[in-house]
Amino acid sequence: MTVSLLARSIAESPTIRLNEEARLLRERGEPVINMGIGEPKNKAPLNAVLAAGAKLCTGDIKYAPADGIPSLKKAIVRYTEENYDRIVAPENIIVSSGAKQSVFNILYSILNPQDEVIILAPYWVSYPEMAKMVYGVPVIVTPEDGSFHPRMIDIERAVSGYTKAIIVNSPNNPSGAVYSDEFIAEIVGFCERKGIYLITDDIYHKLVFDGRRPKPAYAFTKKDLESSRVIVVNGIAKLYGMTGFRIGWTIASRRLVEVMTNVQAQTTSCASVILQSAAEGALLGLQSVVESLRLFIQNNRDVVMQELGTFTGLKVIKPAGTFYCFPDFRAYLDGSVAKTSVELSQFLLKKALVVVVPGKEFGMEGYMRITYAGSVKDVMQGIERIKWALDPNSPNEIFIGDRKLIRDWL
């Protein structure tokens, strides 16, 4: 069998692969703790379940409009006005099968071969691969000061005549960093002046901690949607814990939405009408579920920070949002157990039965992404296992499941 050069060039999704490895181990009865997948453990909101069930009970499950059902788009209009202080028209919205497809559709619609997309490290693993899938060129910009916060001076140096777009994901996956209002204002102004698209992936925009209230990119442009270079992506997966429902949306100019609708119509046709009904139920239902999830995640963040603070030589910046932290594990990459973050993640899965994602996949070698979206018990046990496997100052013995394990490699 032969496959295309393009298909061979696209890297496998590490988070999906690691999640599958964890699933197979669990099926064999292994007590795996998965701290690799970005997925809250709460149940879907009742309003979402009831809305999906009501639609299913009608038996009228047919094609939907390629850009989304009108009632869901109306709910997104309301959500945008309430959360972004911006009035948009239904014609400025396209609903897709997840925010992931939204980002892909945007890049497919705006990039020509060899156009460049600036991606800020650490970045979500799929951004560079999506750019390559539409023959674009990902240009990675890494902060030089050891933080996870980008600097405009570094971005401006990376911009060339081929730069078509910049992707900003704040709160950030994998670091949990929340970019400052000053930076968002600067990059919006820069993109508007240069005619560069600014794609803001806002999928975590309400999962922010410690009383912070970051402003959206819309707050820093006076242009209307038809002339602005700001494109907003959002969805229901993270805020409502509805990752399996696969509904996201894009807000952009009418012309770009028309192009994206044509692209979507020729690929997936439309998002499932049942799942769109569920998304509508979530957006119009009680929003206290989002705040409950945020408080739960913030508590888990505090637990993780406390536990990681007991490691010898580990550096970690306190996340301000999302449900990820991104510790610097380079002190443990001395060759005794691993030399790279990929080797370290494999070691932890084999020895401690804990799934974490290597920092290499996010553009920063030596770091590891740890997800704390699970139960407090899983979070604490997962960190305990990691410490046992790596830190020579930790106890030499540990119980994993009903087995007593003794560390003999440090």
Kindly report the three-state secondary structure assignment for every residue of the chain. Answer: CCCCHHHHHCCCCHHHHHHHHHHHHHHCCCCCEECCCCCCCCCCCHHHHHHHHHHHHHCCCCCCCCCCCHHHHHHHHHHHHHHHCCCCCHHHEEEECCHHHHHHHHHHHHCCCCCEEEEECCCCCHHHHHHHHCCCEEEEECCCCCCCCCCHHHHHHHCCCCEEEEEEECCCCCCCCCCCHHHHHHHHHHHHHHCCEEEEECCCCCCECCCCCCCCHHHHCCCCCCCCCEEEEEECCCCCCCHHHCCEEEECCHHHHHHHHHHHHCCCCCCCHHHHHHHHHHHHCCCHHHHHHHHHHHHHHHHHHHHHCCCCCCECCCCCECCEECCECHHHCCCCCCCCHHHHHHHHHHHHCEECEEHHHHCCCCEEEEECCCCHHHHHHHHHHHHHHHCCCCCCEEEECCEEEECCCC
Residues 73 and 9 in one domain: no
Helix 126-133 to helix 99-110 angle, to the nearest 10 degrees? 40
Q: Do 172 and 110 fall into the same domain?
A: yes
Last residue of a domain, one of 255, 284, 313: 284
* CA 252 – CA 233 distance, rounded (Å): 9
For residues 255 and 364, state if they share a domain.
Answer: no
Stated length of the chain = 410
- Residue 79 shares a structural domain with residue 205: yes
Write down the pTM of the prediction: 0.96
CA atoms within 13 A on the CB side of 151: 9
> What are the beta bridge partners of residue 230?
198
34 & 117 share domain: no
Q: Is 380 left (phi over 0), alpha (psi -120 to 50) or beta?
A: alpha
pLDDT at residue 389, as a whole number:
97
- The reply to whether 256 and 278 lie within a common domain is yes
Instruction: Please state whether 86 falls in left (phi above 0), alpha (psi between -120 and 50) or beta.
Output: beta
| Upstream peptide bond of 122 is cis (omega within 30 degrees of 0) | yes
Residue 281 to residue 160: CA distance in whole angstroms = 44
Place of tokens 């999962």: 207
User: Domain of 90?
Assistant: 46-284
Rounded Cα distance between 198 and 210, Å, is: 27
Q: Which of 284, 306, 341 is the last residue of a domain?
A: 284
Return the CATH number at 379: 3.90.1150.10
pLDDT confidence of residue 52: 97
Residue 192 sits in a domain whose CATH number is 3.40.640.10
- Cα–chain center distance at 219: 22
pLDDT tens digits in sequence order for the chain, 410 residues long: 788 888 888 888 877 787 788 888 888 889 999 999 888 989 999 999 999 999 999 999 999 999 999 999 999 999 999 999 999 999 999 999 999 999 999 999 999 999 999 999 999 999 999 999 999 999 999 998 878 999 999 999 999 999 999 999 999 999 999 999 999 999 999 999 999 999 999 999 999 999 999 999 999 999 999 999 999 999 999 999 999 999 999 999 999 999 999 999 999 999 999 999 999 999 999 999 999 999 999 999 999 999 999 999 999 999 999 999 999 999 999 999 999 999 999 999 999 999 999 999 999 999 999 999 999 999 999 999 999 999 999 999 999 988 999 999 98
How many whole angstroms separate alpha carbon 307 and alpha carbon 73?
A: 43
Domain count, the chain: 2
Residues 187 and 297 placed together within one structural domain of the fold = no
341 within 8 A of 360, measured Cβ to Cβ: yes
Q: How much is the pLDDT for 74?
A: 98
Query: Would the CA dihedral through 353, 356, 361, 367 be positive or negative?
Result: negative
Looking at the DSSP assignment, which residues form a beta bridge with residue 234? Answer: 249
Q: Are residues 182 and 92 in the same domain?
A: yes
Given a contact cutoff of 8 angstroms between Cβ atoms, the answer to whether 198 and 232 are in contact is: no
Same domain? For 27 and 170 the reply is: no
| In the block, residue with structure tokens 């991606």 | 119
Is residue 262 domain-shared with residue 315, that is, in the same domain?
Answer: no
39 and 70 belong to one structural domain:
no
State the pairing for strand pair 403-406/397-400: antiparallel
The domain boundary, picked from 284, 319, 347, lies at 284
**Are residues 245 and 295 located together in one domain of the fold?**
no
